[in-house]
Each structure stands twice: as structure tokens, then as C-alpha cells.
Amino acid sequence: MARVVLAMSGGVDSSVAAHLLIQQGHEVIGVFMRHGEKAVTACAIDGDQASSPLLPVLNNRADHKQGCCSASDAEDGRRVAERLDIPFYALNLEEEFRGIIDYFVQEYSVGRTPNPCVMCNNRIKFGKLFDYADSVGAEFLATGHYAQLHGEGEDLKLTRGIDVGKDQSYVLFGIKQKYLQRMLLPVGGYDKPTIRKIAGELGLNVAAKKDSQEICFVTSGKHDAFVRQRQADSVSTAGDIVTADGTVVGSHPGIEGFTIGQRRGIGVAMGQPYFVTRINAAANEVVIGPVEELGRTELTAIDTNWLVQPPRQTFPCLAQIRYNSAAAPATANIDPISKRLTVTFDAPQRGVAPGQAVVCYHGDQVLGGGWIE
């Protein structure tokens, strides 16, 4: 029997993951990550409430005052842990989450589209939580991600989950390869309906709980307001909306409200569907055009991470440019000096956005990827 630290969000996936790990004979310790963000969120609570004894808080800083904006999720997780008779703690990661938030704000401020969920996995879930696992003598760290691990030792492979519609392998590409042997992904071999069925049979209160689709620290649809609040003392990013030939067709309150491929909320009527095709941060311009102007056949990516031995300089792959997009046939090239990744698609892809991740697959296996430049 191995001791396992399980990241529990209060959702159905990590809750059933706890049950599956117990079934496998593991000693499970549930951990809820508090991020303390309560500025522009729908479920914010005040500091006095946050200090209530909802569950034990493991502070890294003795004089730190805890805040939390996911109290209902924490309560759901606590109830599940109580039902399954496992310990459940809250880990204070406000300082670490502040780095994720700063990254989020900075990327939008320069016209890029961040992916805080991937960054959170890299730095916190499969970074800081490993430190916590070490501190309690845990051999493994587990999550409720829909992805799978196959093989042993150096041959261990990260692959897609069997539920294609819920697969989350894309957001795990940035994990350090050395951690694969200490990861457990119990729900990756199930589809979502089965996970909900198991939760129902166990009598878990989260069996019918809706999936979280939004960034945990920002109210749905309010990311631009969040960014502007965080950069209140910065220079305005308001500017013009232009077409590819430079014709001004409107104005906007800030480039942080736009991303490549966006159609809704542009604020101008062109007589046919127009999309954001480029963001010129230097001039605060949002460039729009018809759908045919969205296509890109090549991208470059930096800060690459590989879960296999880095492939040869040029190799075929399936490349995925967003969490909810399909992987497309492509040829990838790794510069041996700069390590920059170039991906050339067999057919033009729409919505290639600087700041998002491109992930290379061999079939269902994650090879690695980088951040679109």
C-alpha cells in the first residue's frame, strides 16, 4: 500500500479518484488548494469568514491571513473525504497562485492569450504539491485529470484519456518528465458518465455537480475587467479595430478583451462574420478579417518541455493548438541550438494564438510541446 496525496477540487472527478485509489489499496490524503483570490470573483468571501474552521489550513507562513473564494468547493471536498473516511486538508498556496495571476494579467496586457490551467499544472499541481507530498512521506501524487499513464520506468507514457470529449492530456504537457513515475491518474480509464454513476452509487453529494469550465480566479466572461483592475496604474491598452489593410472600422477599450479567432463581442458590424486575426500590441490594434484570413500553416513555440527523449530535429506528429481543438497532422522541427519548436501543418489551422500551448502527439501519446510565440 502506498501513501498518495490527491488534489481534491470538490468536483466529481477528484472525488471518484479518491474512491478508486482506496479500492486499489492506497492510503489517500486529500488536499484542497486555496488560492486566496477574492477580488473579481463570483463567490468571494471576506477575511473573517475565510478564517473560520471549515477545515485545517496548512500555512507555509505563520503570520499569513488566509482568504478563499471557493468555500463551497472546499465544503464539497470535505464532505466527500468524510464519506470516504480519508484525511482532508487545505494547503495555502496564495503566494504561488499570485504568480499564476501575474502571468495571466501580463500575457493579456501584451496581446497574448494565456493558459493559466496549464501553468497551474506545471508550477503548482505537479510542482508545489510534490513538495507537500514529500513532506508527508507520500510516494505518489494523484489528480482527477482525464489522461492515462502506460508502461513502467523510463518507458512510462502519458496518453489521452479514453473519454475523447473530456481528455485533458493537453494541459499536462508541461509536467517535468521525472514526475511521471510518481503520478497517478485514476479516472483516465473511464468515461464521464461512468464516473458520475460511480459517484451516485457511493452516495457522494457531488455526483451531479456541474463541471467547472472557467478559470478558478475570474468570474465567467469578466477576464478583461479582472486584467484592467490588476493593471490600474498601467498605460491604457485601448485602441483601434482595423482590417488587414489598416482601415479603421472601430475602437476598443483594451486589447486584453480579445484573442485570436474570437468572433463574438468584437463590437463592429461588417455585414458578414469577422474574426480577430491578429493583435498588434505595440499599437494597441485589434486586426479583424473574414474566416479565410484566420488560417495559419506554421507556428513557432518556445520554452518547450518533452515527456519523451526529445525527438530528432524533424519529426511527424499530430499537433494540438488549444485545449478544445482537434490535433492536426503536422511536421515539427526542433532547432538544436535555441530549442525553439517550429510546427508546419499539412492544412491551415484557425485560431493559432500566441500565448497558448502547442502540444505534439504520436497517436494518443503526449510527446511534449511549447508556448506559441
- Per residue of the chain (373 residues), what is the pLDDT tens digit? 899 999 999 999 999 999 999 999 999 999 998 876 553 332 322 222 232 223 333 443 333 323 334 678 889 999 999 999 999 999 988 888 899 999 999 999 999 999 998 999 998 988 889 999 999 999 999 999 999 999 988 789 999 999 999 999 999 999 999 999 999 999 999 999 999 999 999 999 999 888 876 677 777 667 888 888 887 677 789 999 999 999 999 999 999 999 999 999 998 999 999 999 999 999 999 999 999 999 999 999 999 999 999 888 899 999 999 998 999 999 999 999 999 999 999 999 999 999 999 999 999 999 999 999 9
pLDDT on residue 260: 95
CATH of 295-372, one of 3.20.20.70, 3.40.50.2300, 3.30.200.20, 2.40.30.10: 2.40.30.10
pLDDT of residue 215: 75
pLDDT of residue 70: 63
For the entire predicted model, the pTM comes to 0.88
Cα(297)–Cα(319) distance, integer angstroms: 12
First CA to last CA distance, the chain: 45
Confidence (pLDDT) at 36: 62
Active site residues: 120, 216
pLDDT at 71: 76
**Domain regions of the chain by residue span:** 3-202, 236-289, 295-372
pLDDT of residue 229: 84
The per-residue pLDDT for 49 is: 28
CATH number of 236-289: 2.30.30.280
User: What per-residue confidence (pLDDT) applies to 213?
Assistant: 63
3-202: which CATH topology? Rossmann fold (3.40.50)
Q: Residue 51's pLDDT is what?
A: 29
pLDDT at 54: 30
